Chain A
């Protein structure tokens, strides 16, 4: 091991590999010109050849559906996969708040540069300049595209598009469709995808789960999937594979993600050689409905757009915490975000808002029911705005969110302030990709939340939808064509790599069905989630993370010996599906802790208690950690993962401490 390792908190848990030198971004031109430059020199595929080329796309969320539709239009044969019963149900559908775009419709000084700047700063200088710039650059076309598809964005009386502002920025650049922006955008992309199904360029495989990647000499050749209805194990071979499989926040068990969201596709690729980038960067969303009981299966997010009009507070005095909030007079309320961050107030970025909420509750000033002796909730209060503009206006803007809150909590948020608490929401980490969105496994492309590339250590609100669609509509179609323009050798099903991948899948399934243990899959998942939240959640310490790694290893060993999965492999079997996903979450969870342990600095969604300023803010350590951590799988238990560092340089923006005060 090298010197760097010796001083690392994670010494003994990893080894250091070669640094990553080239990310394929055209570094010889300034940041704003890189994408034009890349496109100008990308190779093209002759339209007549496209129909002979097969692209496998796993995932039908914004990234996967957009890529599928666009590549289908271009004339490629697309095979599209998702685990739901329809592509329209991908998790992107749940996004509430909105999508950013640098349109400057408000004449408030927005521009590509400013969106780029906010993204890099918001990501705490841990994202790549080239990628973030491109994201901002194509953002405006996304809105044009979606409007042309019939996405019913909010409009003003003059008939033009309306927008609003979101956490972490001071301009209005977020386009929205009430509280259902994700649904509307996804339906647009889904319809475009279905149009291609009718045109014969896209074939959809719903209720199919990818369980293995087929790799030959570090080139992706296809995937193994399980038909979730019949249990049949199928092989699909193609000229390139795209993973657009979303995020892995469900490693925490309780999160705002859909029940089926998983890491399996990405993790299987990781085990076949693809690097995992920055796995420890988890975004905690500040405004979710607090946990209410033991049997809860998921957490519900309250859109961040609510922070535009709702004021966040807790009582100044602990004695007031159990009182009806309406009986607490103004002078006894602590509007702590407005107090600590006067410039941004309630609109500070998510990591800051989340951490402050935790501190308030840790101090004993939280509200709501006591869970394990602590009240974990803060108020999000709409009384002021309702008084100012009237209930009807508030209802028009946020009606469905208020209804959802009332439905879940049985409290009326028009009368009593909402109670919110942070919850796991989004992951900035994911498979490592270069500027072309290609992983280090050739021909394996990764788009949307499944890759690590654009958001840095923290993501500003309304930027994930933007990234999913940017990747799918406007980036991948160019970069993948560049790859497909070269000829690639095809393999057939008799190839040893196919046989081996298939055998691995079958053995795993067979193992789960024959362990005959005593504990349910969910009980393991819950316990893993507790460990992750406790030690690799909002605040992390060396001690906690080290402990977590030990606990995860123990639990994982027990899981393999003692899990109980009933039913058969040849039928629809939901426990079996979950068992495979949880198995991968164990390995991911361990790597997340190792990554977090090694990164002895605080940045964005990663807050190491050992690295704070005297006033409790995150202290980043640029001299040591201005790099992307790309982890290589080294093998099963006993083999330490290998860390490859890609250093981050800032040319267009000066790297400074991030302050919202």
Chain B
């Protein structure tokens, strides 16, 4: 296939970026989107031009590192991660626009790479269960209803990629936040800190500069792990309960 790429190039966090056009000739359908970019970079390197910087690691759809806006959609046209997107989703002759995640709390570091450490700070603010190593009780002493365990699992599959934020017109991280609140909130182990967790995590979310949720639903549509919108209702419910209790 022949492909034309419009790619955001930006030397570093403080410089101005611009779109740049590249042509590629021998793209095969079996390549992943990132392998296509590898090919572009080999060509650029050959010509003595600086390769395009982009993030990836597992290339299996699980680490959440890859992060590209492709034709205006987070991770591109399929509901998956960029590393699991294949060129068979495009046609010969297509022009593809590639940009980094755009959200204020995710500043661009170079080209297509952004800084998502705000997510780590949200987790630091309460996204855990406080248990010291060695003090855990026997695992089967606390049965967990299968339905709850399954729901906890479903939302625990969030890979922290940030596509939800990139897709949201408000730049809200409510889906990411709701997924963690719901994961820990469904489990008996998560109850003691349930209220303080939601209050602290929401405060950190807002402090980082993520926007508020106005129920648009773009987040869940873009989420490669299918995190459902009802985690945001759960988040709000938990927050209300905590407020009622004067947290």
Contact = CB atoms under 8 A, between A and B. Distances in A.
Interface stretch (B91-99, B110-118, B237-245): B110-118
B11 A93 contact: no
Q: Which of A148, A260, A564 has the most CB of B within 10 A?
A: A148
Interface in A251-280: 258-260
A294 to B, nearest CB: 9
Given A144-B136, A187-B156, A258 B131 contact: no
Contact of B187 (A93, A141, A150, A161): A150
A566 B45 CA distance: 7
Given A94-B60, A410-B88, A85 B117 contact: yes
B55 A149 contact: no
Contacts of A141: 134, 136
B140 A86 contact: no
CB-CB nearest 6 A-B residue pairs: A159-B143, A191-B128, A148-B136, A152-B153, A147-B139, A144-B136
B231 to A, nearest CB: 14
A159 B145 contact: yes
A66 B38 CA distance: 34
B60 A404 contact: yes
Interface string B138-163: 11101111100100110011011000
Contacts, number: 210
A547 B45 CA distance: 31
Given A158-B143, A191-B123, A86 B117 contact: yes
Given A258-B58, A566-B49, A84 B63 contact: yes
A85 B59 CA distance: 15
A91 interface: yes
B133 interface: yes
A141 B34 CA distance: 40
A145 B138 CA distance: 9
A73 B57 contact: no
Contact of A160 (B42, B60, B143, B152): B143
A204 B146 CA distance: 36
B183 A150 contact: yes
Interface in A473-529: 473-474, 477, 520, 522-523
A34 B156 CA distance: 38
A206 interface: yes
Contact of A575 (B51, B84, B116, B189): B51
A86 B119 contact: yes
Interface residues of A, number: 79
A85 B116 contact: yes
B189 A297 contact: no
Interface string A194-230: 1101100000101000000000000000000000010
Interface of B: 11-12, 28, 30-32, 34-35, 38-39, 42, 45-46, 48-51, 53, 55-65, 80, 84, 86, 88, 109-110, 113, 115-117, 119-120, 123-125, 127-140, 142-146, 149, 152-153, 156-157, 159-160, 183-184, 187, 189-190
B8 to A, nearest CB: 14
A6 interface: no
Nearest to B56: A259
A297 B138 CA distance: 43
Interface string A349-364: 0000000000000000
Contact of B65 (A85, A183, A190): A85
A153 B183 CA distance: 12
A574 interface: yes
A87 interface: yes
B108 to A, nearest CB: 11
A502 B28 CA distance: 44
A529 to B, nearest CB: 14
Given A155-B144, A566-B51, A571-B11, A295 B38 contact: yes
23 contacts: A73-B133, A89-B58, A91-B57, A94-B58, A94-B62, A147-B139, A147-B142, A148-B137, A148-B139, A149-B129, A150-B183, A177-B156, A183-B62, A192-B133, A258-B57, A259-B58, A292-B30, A295-B35, A296-B35, A404-B84, A522-B42, A566-B51, A567-B51
A410 B84 CA distance: 12
Which of A182, A298, A404, A477: most chain B Cβ within 10 A?
Answer: A298
A194 B131 contact: no
B139 A144 contact: yes
A10 to B, nearest CB: 35
Interface string A92-107: 0110000000010100
A523 B189 CA distance: 50
B55 A85 contact: yes
B6 to A, nearest CB: 21
Contacts of B12: 571-572
- Among B46, B135, B139, max chain A CB count under 10 A is at B139
Contacts of B30: 292-293
A153 B144 CA distance: 10
B68 to A, nearest CB: 14
Given A148-B189, A184-B156, A93 B63 contact: yes
Contacts of B137: 144, 148
Interface in A408-434: 408, 410
Contacts of B109: 229, 572
B70 to A, nearest CB: 16
Given A141-B134, A148-B139, 8 more contacts: A86-B116, A150-B184, A150-B187, A152-B152, A260-B57, A404-B61, A408-B84, A477-B133
A195 B42 contact: no
A69 interface: yes
